[in-house]
Amino acid sequence: MKVGEISAKLNEKGLKVTPQRIAVFEAISKLSNHPTADNVIDYIRNKHPNIATATVYKVLDALVSNELIKKVKTEKDVMRYDAILEKHHHLYCSESDRIEDFNDEELNNILEMYFKKKEIPDFKIEDIKLQIIGKFTKGDQ
C-alpha cells in the first residue's frame, strides 16, 4: 500500500496522519505474513530508528480500534496483525506458527447460511472467520 493510500485511510477514520502511523501501517501491508509487533518494529527500524517501541504498540492499537487492521491470535497466544479486511479465513501451521490467508466464497456462504438458520439466542454475529489448524506439507515452515 502506498503512502497516499495509507494517508487517505487514516483521514477517512479521522486519524491524524503522522510518520509513525504511516510507517506502521506500511509495514503491516508490506509484511504480508501477518506480522507480530516485533516484526513491525524490526521492519520500520531501518528507515525510522527513532520510533519508540511504545509508539508502535499505540499505533497498532489505534489502527485496530479504528478497524484499519485486524488482530489475529495464534494457538501459541501470539498476537499478529492483518491488513486485509475483506472476508477471509486463516490456515495456521501448528509447527511453525505460520499463517496464510484462505479465501473461499463457498465456505463463506455455507457458514453464513448455517448461522442464519441456527440463530444463537441473545447473540448478534458480526463476523465469522475460521482458523484452520494443521501443518503445511510444502514450502518453508
Query: Grid coordinates in use for 106?
Result: 463457498
Report domain extents, the chain: 3-82, 89-134
Say if residue 133 carries a ligand binding annotation: no
Residues of the chain falling short of pLDDT 70: 139-141
CATH of domain 89-134: 3.30.1490
Q: In this predicted model, what pLDDT tens digit does every residue of 102-113 receive, in sequence order?
A: 999 999 999 999
pLDDT of residue 126: 87
pLDDT of residue 138: 80
Contacts of 39 (CB under 8 A, 6+ apart): 27, 31, 33
pLDDT of residue 139: 64
The model's pTM: 0.82
For the domain made up of 3-82, give the CATH fold.
Arc Repressor Mutant, subunit A (1.10.10)
